[in-house]
Amino acid sequence: MALQVPLWHHYLRAIRSRAASRAQDYQRAENVLLTVLERVHARDPRFLVDYSRDLEALQFALRSSDGPVDVEVPLRVDAQALLSEELGASETGDDLGSCRLGIPREGAGLEQWMTDDVFTTSSDVGADCLGHLVPSKVLHVLKDLLVAAIVHCKHHNLIAPGSVKVDSLETEELHLSLLVSSGWRTICFHVVPVVRWKHRAPALEGAQRAPGFPDGSLKRVISQEVALVPASAQLWRVSTDYLLTRLLSELGSLPGHRLDSLSILDRVNYESWRDGGRSPGLAFSHLRTVLLWAAALFPAPEDWAELQGAVYRLLVVLLCCVATRNLPHFLHPERNLLQNTRLDLNALYQRVERFASQPEASLRIHVSHLGRSPPPRIGHGVKALLQLPASDPAYWATAYFDVLLDKFQVFHVQDKARIAAMQSIFLKTKTLSGEDS
């Protein structure tokens, strides 16, 4: 065990050594993109430029992979004056809270959004709604503006030749993809038109989540505007990505290794579980959700004081979610983020469990780290234990996950009440875990 602790810190140091250059590359690429978007706004003032992009930079810094970065282009529209026609899951075939955005008959100040390029007239003559703001039309207008803006910026030497390439401008994808070169790195930006909406996010399930975040942060974050993004050619949906990134930022203000543990798992995911990005696998957004749940389930500062223990807080939550094939959305627990992902969850489980049992092989980044690995932390049968929350949601609680931490030999908690709660759950699960108990 003596060799394990330094390995975690060596691995984190290697990740941090790349952080400065990644941040510089991102800043340069973002500046190029903002130059293009400023030209878009100059040609069509209905499309605004959002300069408050610190949260996207934070996420990019935490990631190891150069996956797409979402860029919101807010529409210059008074969202409160629009009519939101919410549709149920039975009508849309999903549970994403899809809606149509209508222009009311008394919609003063909305004339610029009633032109044929973004608007479709309602067929119902007697309706209070004149027609609808159509996502596919908005995307088409934005696509043409982006192409024209890139040409203009290149012609006037506002951006370097070859610095921006169009990856995909297919509006059917519900975003527009641009590749921006920065140094030797190329960053893919997904440009998405959004309607900023003062929309109350669903109440967080259970007050027990709040203690894991700074005082007042949950209330502060969920009171923010949300973004309505294209859900289909005709429909919009609420995107909670901004809210979740805000929560991630709030966690970063706390002492401990919360964000460090996310960076480590993202690196392991990219290098080991996804074979250096060559294989499909978990996205950063999946691991971000795992951290948010872990922060809620392990609110005590001592859970995050030691790096190895912090990573295992995420690992036990991730293992449980992959084993039960259910990763609940943090703000919408009824929504399963592993559903319809086309991931081989059996293979993914094997890789995550192998790492949790013997992480040393994945953490070695230098010849000096070579050596015999300690024996596996767990034996057979842990997967049955991980299935419990699927049969009884009451197990989705700190005491149950403390049992898992104990299985992996990283439960080093001094709180007597918490130890007693863990032991109580341990006794209930003993018959299921066989020799592992």
Higher-confidence residue of 186 and 19: namely 186
Strands (E) across 144-273 are located at 164-168, 176-182, 185-197, 226-230, 236-239
Q: Could you tell me the pTM of the whole model?
A: 0.87
14: its two tokens: 């290697």
274: its two tokens: 């996804």
Distance between CA atoms of residues 212 and 273, nearest Å: 28
**What is the CA 288 to chain-centroid distance, rounded?**
5
Distance between CA atoms of residues 432 and 371, nearest Å: 35
Distance between CA atoms of residues 160 and 33, nearest Å: 12
What does the pLDDT read at residue 337? 94
H/E stretch holding 311 reads: helix 307-324
What does the pLDDT read at residue 162? 85
Give the pLDDT mean for 346-372.
Answer: 78
**What confidence tier does 431 reach under pLDDT thresholds 50, 70, 90?**
low
335 neighbors 95 (Cβ within 8 angstroms): yes
Distance between CA atoms of residues 265 and 100, nearest Å: 39
Q: CB within 8 A of 151, min separation 6: which ones?
A: none
Distance between CA atoms of residues 369 and 329, nearest Å: 38
DSSP tag of 171: G
Q: Is 85 helix (H, G, I), strand (E, B) or coil?
A: strand
Q: CB within 8 A of 130, min separation 6: which ones?
A: 102, 103, 104, 105, 107, 114, 121, 122
- In 3-state terms, the chain is what percent helix, strand and coil (to 5)? 50, 15, 35
Which of 39, 98, 49 shows the shortest CA–CA distance to 73?
49
Convert the pLDDT of each residue in 139-177 to its tens digit.
999 999 999 999 999 999 999 988 998 877 776 688 999
103 neighbors 110 (Cβ within 8 angstroms): yes
CA atoms within 13 A on the CB side of 324: 22
What does the pLDDT read at residue 143? 94
Q: Cα dist. 397→309, 384, 394 in Å?
A: 18, 17, 7
Convert the pLDDT of each residue in 337-348 to its tens digit.
999 888 999 999
Distance between CA atoms of residues 191 and 143, nearest Å: 9
> Above 60 in pLDDT, residue 208?
no
Q: Is 181 helix (H, G, I), strand (E, B) or coil?
A: strand
Higher-confidence residue of 351 and 93: namely 351
Convert the pLDDT of each residue in 254-296 to its tens digit.
999 999 999 999 999 999 999 888 888 999 999 999 999 999 9
> Above 90 in pLDDT, residue 409?
no
Rg (C-alpha) for the chain, rounded Å, is 24
- Average pLDDT, whole number, for the chain? 85
